[in-house]
Structure 1
């Protein structure tokens, strides 16, 4: 990558995990002085234009992350061309993206947690769980965000 990448974070409905990843990574990239383009989307359009889940916002805000300007949207065909990295939260989102992505852009898609050193492969969906689930999701997202920043820094050298 000779330029700073445009990154799309993807989950199912785009109200919990992907907006959390967007908010966390945007914050960490800014703090590191890395100018990236970020967005988030869902593989499904259940919550079109909805704000992020209040439980995700509460957990993230408590850690200093800003969710302003984020609204749910579905992945669209142009996303595969526009973004350099498309980072789904779990294997189902990965498979759904691969199914609709043109072959020439499939190399851009990889699990978000592939940038972390944790034992998890996927960010679990906290939607039907309690507050601890949202905290755990943030823990994983922070790890992967740090790893992604290191990857971007290394690619710039």
Structure 2
């Protein structure tokens, strides 16, 4: 697969050598989200949710999602093949539902259309696979505001949801 092309970027399937770079860029891209989570939840609940710490938990999650047997991970690379973003897709064929599991762009490469390119690529790939519906989830906290703006700009309709947590002594 040649991937989507652009003068300065290309989207291609994940290569094993990309994984470490994706983990690192995801930690940088999502740091504001985790700061927001801790501000909303408080340090006690935040610490219980992300053990031993959010960076380790998130790195493990990225690896798990990218390497899952039913996952389709794709990498957005610069003209010199440097990974600067990624998206992980999955499908629930019984429900004809395409799922965007993860999406991130390195902070130094944000606001250049890379997120929009990854979203358009993901939606088109899931549509071409025969899915009638595409789902992407995100948080309602301030740290996820850029993600919500991207999804809304791509035509997604949000359904507010609330998660409640209680730390028990």
Q: Same fold (TM over 0.5)?
A: no
Structure of higher RCO (CA pairs closer than 8 Å, 6+ residues apart): 1
Higher Rg: 2
TM-score if structure 1 supplies the norm length?
Answer: 0.30
